Amino acid sequence: MKCRRKIILESASEITVTPRQLEMLRHIAEFENSRCYSATIAEAAGAAGVSRTTAFEHIVSLQAKGLLTKSTGRARSLRLTAQASRLLECDRYLGSRSAASEGVPLAGRVAAGVPIEAIENADVLSLRSVFGDGDGVFALEVAGDSMIEEGIDTGDYVICRKTDTAANGQMVVAIVEENAATVKRFYRENGRVRLEAANPAYPSIYTDQCRIEAVVVGVLRRLGY
């Protein structure tokens, strides 16, 4: 079932719009805001990336729902109603709430070397925005300090992308004898696998019984105060 946005009007009646209709409203509003005049049906179709016939059908539906008005005989007469303006305002609010719940504000850049000019930003930083989306990306909590010289310590989280192959030198999550999982640098040499730690206190693991579960693509750490 397609998701639909709903807005409760002052009269306590309910208007339901489809995602495509809501997108058409957005394009019509953005067109007028940027050009200070209303869009024609052809321009609304172009902005939304649909055919003129499809745009016309959406516009007729939006008129029937009291979200658009259009004067007969005039090309540039599409106008959002007060209800449509409230709907778009509500949608922007819900969209900002949804984005905030999936990440933290990305406010700009800060120098770790030569100071740079502070540049404000209004983006949101999330794991998906950095490492990609999909079922193949996951996180694991690290127990132990065998990768300490790679900046990975107990309590950190490694972000992994699921795969069953790895290139020499990649950091991997590997399953070795007795179904033990470990994070190490992966090397294939002389018919066997070497899993190399990043801590002199831990010897390399040599094995011919190794299964790659994932490659490590990032690290998360919560700093103490």
Is 146 among the catalytic positions? yes
∠ Cα 77 80 82 (to 5°): 135
**Active-site residue identified among 11, 146, 162, 204:** 146
Q: Could you say which of 51, 101, 184, 204 is catalytic?
A: 184
162 flagged as catalytic: no
Q: At what angle do helices 52-64 and 41-48 cross, to 10 degrees?
A: 110
Q: Catalytic residues, which ones?
A: 146, 184
